[in-house]
Each structure stands twice: as structure tokens, then as C-alpha cells.
Amino acid sequence: MKKILIANRGEIAVRVMTTAKKMGITTVAVYSSADKFAPHVLLADEAYHIGDPAPSASYLDMDKIIDTAKKAGADAIHPGYGFLSENADFAQKVTDAGITFIGPSPEAMRIMGSKLAAKEAVSKYGTPMIPGSDGSITDPKLAAEIAKQIGFPVLIKASAGGGGKGMRIVWKEEDIESQMDRAISEAISAFGDGSVFVEKYVASPRHIEFQVLADQHGNYRHIFERECSVQRRHQKVIEEAPSTVLNEKTRKEMGEVAVNVARACDYVGAGTVEFLLDEDKNYYFLEMNTRLQVEHPVTEMITGLDLVEEQIHIARGEKIKWAQEDISIRGHSLELRIYAEDPSENFMPGTGWLSAFELPDLTGVRLDAGYQSGMDVPVYYDPLLGKLISYGADREGAINIMLNALKNFKIIGVPSTVGFGAFVFSHPAFISGNFDTHFVENYFTTEQIETLRQGEYSELAAQLGLQIYLTEKKQLRIP
């Protein structure tokens, strides 16, 4: 494998190219008209224009990307995340064109791309799952019967897709029909698939996911967990590794379950198995993401592994070179997704001229970015500007390093989530580790963000938060 085309843009394209170059592999970028001078284009050894700014005319055009790979003489295509990364048809077309797809097989993607098919596949391993319907449902009366059996509240959920679309919480029987209609309509609109199912609603969950790797020789590994409970609109904004709530016994159990989920679909490559953890520390399989996750850097920081490098080795047909017992957790890592969003306006995306995007070199800080000062932030794509990652010997140290980095991060020209990140990392609930997926709705208000604007939040807040953390750590014996 001597040349890889990265079928993506932004920070993930830069991220993949950085590792490929380190491995001596030639990199090929594709770009839309809006990204002509983007960092991933400038970093690549070769770059090809593939269309207008709209994703459908560029980054989602399978045939253009594959034709470009052929033209460039690329041996492989890395899809990154988003866009076509979990599109089984694209993976099949790439393979049929005689090009290596750096990811799982199309069949594995199809199985795990359907929540119902995934549940069926993993059931043979006795995987813990949230109580609910065995298959898709269209009859409100049947849904009501299932809901009464498992107990309200319940969640009506689209089988395809994610990101909170096609999802409705139902608290009482008389609302089943109307909420089903809405969930089905939204699922059809978002995913072209109206299949929905019913499951028990876990009221105060933690969102825990396990990184897995599998090679073409039947070797499966997990690389510990990531805590992803701080979310807005059902989408992650802050991640960390390891989680504060897992002990070694539960970590080992969940890791083994995650590996079996990968086995259930003959998985190859890097993937993520997601779980919900309830208040009683019971865990349930949620879904599997068949790609590299946005938050993969925190796993890299605590293990020393390069997950993109591992992906490439596996795609080459090589065996995983290390045993499960060879890796261990070292230190603690946090990640903040830096979005061009205004937290005081319900995280409304913003666009404009990025006159400043600057972070000084700091110990224990990593910035994976797809933008730089002097660039335009267009309206066509996800508003993720980059990811700020901190690493410390322990969680307290990682929080301190993150807060210092946020204080020194200068972003001018578009709104950003830097101030929001400062709010979260200095909040007593986060510092204590006592939070769940409702953190934002429980604690965040627009008034608070006004006092935590970039460069303006108080040192006292961080000091007070850490004092609370140390007190609660001693009382709760948080590892």
C-alpha cells in the first residue's frame, strides 16, 4: 500500500494524512470548490478538485471519488468519519474497483447499520440489551402492549441512522400513536427507512463506548473505554478516557462484550461498540459505529497507540502485533470538540471569516484541526473546527491542562464552544464525575455562558471546582 486517497475533509483528513506520511505512504486529497486552500489540501502530496461545495456534488459523490482514486493510482481509500464512512454501497464499490477500503466489509456495515439487524446478530453471544421489541413495529397497539410489559417511559427509535433523529420518549400510553407517527415520519425523512422499535427508556444513563480492533486473521482486541455522556441534541461534545465510573471488573466484562459484538459480524478494522450504563451500573448494548470515531484521540493518549496506523496495518492484511494483556491505561485524557456554534443560542452553527484560530504550544495538549487563521468557515459542512485534547497523569491534571489551554485558545470571527468547554470542565458535577447524558439540560444556561466567554472565565471557578473534586474524590473513593 503505497498511496492512499482520503475521501474526506477537515481535521480527520489531516489526521489520516499525518499518520500516512509518517508511514512513508503518499497521500491524495479530494476537495470541493469551498476547500481549495484548506489544510488537508495543502498537506496532501496530490490534490484533486471533485466538485461544487454541496456535499452531494463532491464528498458524497461515490463515482467521482473512485474515479479520482483510479486516476491518481491510489491503492486504498480511507473514508474518515461522516460522509461515506459508513456507507456499505460505497465500500462495495471501492472493493469492486480493485481498491482497498480501509474499514470493515460492506456486510458488517450493513448489519451494524441497522439497529434491529445488529441486535439480532449480537444476541447469539448473550449480549446485554435494553428490554424492548424484537423487531420493527408499525402498529401503535402492539407498541402499547410492549410498553406496558416493559414499563413506561419507553423510547421509540429509528432502526437506521442516529444523532437523535427518529427518536421519541413516550411517558404514557395515550401518547404512543402520535409519537410513533412522528418518529416514523422523521426516520423516513432522515434515512429513507421508517422502521422503528420500542425499548425501555433509561432515564439517567451514562454513555460509555469501547474501542475495538480486529484483523483479517480472526484476532480481536478492545482498547478500553471512552466516556461520552456530555452531549447536546443527543450528540457528543466532550469525551474522556478512562471513565470515572467503571471498576476493573466491569471494564473487563464490557471489553469482552465489545469484542463479541465485533465477532458477531466478522468485523475487520477499527470500530466502536456503544453502551448505555444505568444508575445501578447495569450496561446495555446500544450500537456499533463501523468507522474511526471523532473521539479516538483520547484512546490514543492513554495507550500510546496510533489508531490510524493500526487501521492501515490491518487493511494491508497484517496481524495485530500485540496481545490484549500487552496494553494498559496510562494517565487520563479529555477531548472538547471545538464547533463553530453559539452555545448561548442553543448551539446555533455559525459561519464567517476565521480571522484568528490560535493556540500556543502547551505541554499535555494536542490540537487536531481542519482550519487555521485566515480561512472561511462555510455553511455546507459540519461546523467542527477541530478537537482540543489534554493529557495528564490523572484526571485532575488533565482538567487543569484543559482549562489552561482553553484560556489561551484564541478564536475570532465565528462563535465557538470554547467558553462552553470551560463551563463544563470547571463545573462541580463534571469534576466529581457525578453526571449523565442530561448534563447540558440540567446545568447549562445561556446566562452562565456569558460569564465564561473565551478568555473571560474566572480562575476562581477552576480552583473551586478542583477543590470540590478533591473532596468528593476522597469521599466517594473515585479511582
Closest by CA to 440, choosing from 275, 238, 276, is 238
294: its cell numbers: 471523532
Task: Break the chain down into helix, strand, coil percent, rounded to 5.
Answer: 40, 25, 35
Taking residue 14's Cβ as centre, other Cβ atoms within 10 Å add up to 25
Give catalytic residue positions.
Answer: 291
Neighbours of 467 (CB within 10 A): 12
Closest CA to 281 of 249, 246, 252: 246
State the DSSP code for 132.
Answer: B
Instruction: Decide the pairing of beta strands 196-200 and 46-51.
Output: unpaired
235 - beta bridge partners?
232
Rg (Cα) of the chain, in Å, rounded? 22
C-alpha–C-alpha distance, residues 288 and 128, integer Å:
14
HSE of 346 in the Cβ direction (CA atoms, 13 Å)? Answer: 1
From the number of C-beta atoms within 10 Å of its C-beta (0-12, 13-18, 19+), residue 1 rates as middle
Residue 106: is the preceding peptide bond cis (ω within 30°)?
A: no
Which of these, 297, 102, 352, 135, lies nearest to 215 by C-alpha position?
Answer: 102
Cell of 58: 463532491
